[in-house]
Amino acid sequence: MARALLALGSNQGDRAGYLLSGLSALSRADVRPLRLSRVYETDPLGPPGQGRYLNQVALVETGLEPEALLRLLLSVEKAHGRVRAERYGPRTLDLDLLDYEGRVLDLPGLTLPHPRMHARAFVLVPLLEVAPRWRHPVLGRTARELLAGLEAGGVRPYLLEDPGPELPQ
């Protein structure tokens, strides 16, 4: 079994519901969440007029190889109504493979670690909660060191009325 870091995001419809439903779908498909960050509300990137995002990071365990895991993530997005109409456009559910066992890959459609994660506070803030000692496999810097160079003011904890089921420890 391998460990991977996933980013989850949503800025359309029942944002919190999409995050929970996405995690549930992954759990039924050989992706077991080990740790979940809190949910954060963040300003959107991309075209104006979008709603604010809910973002979360999950540390998961899986028997899937990176390419198969990415295919699963894309299929779960699609099953949740994700439409890829424009770059950085609004989405019901966004699932990104951030890191897979510290591997460095550059394949068609899959780059590990995620090529923009080091510059995104909305990824690094929740990542620190689930993997505080994680180190970027290319840059050699910790998430805390990477975050120190970014403006993280737009990343605010989001309080859910129902945080969902407790994960086994």
Q: Which sequence positions are flagged as catalytic? A: 82, 91, 94, 96
Coil, strand or helix at 151 = coil
Distance between start and end Cα atoms, the chain: 17
Q: What is the identity of the amino acid at 157?
A: P
Exposure string over 114-151, b if 16+ CB within 10 A, otherwise e: beebbebbbbbbbbbbbbeebebeeeeebbeebbeeee
Are 72 and 59 a contacting pair, CB within 8 Å? no
As given in the structure block, the two tokens for residue 67 are: 């390419």
What backbone phi and psi angles, to 5 degrees, belong to 100?
-135, 100
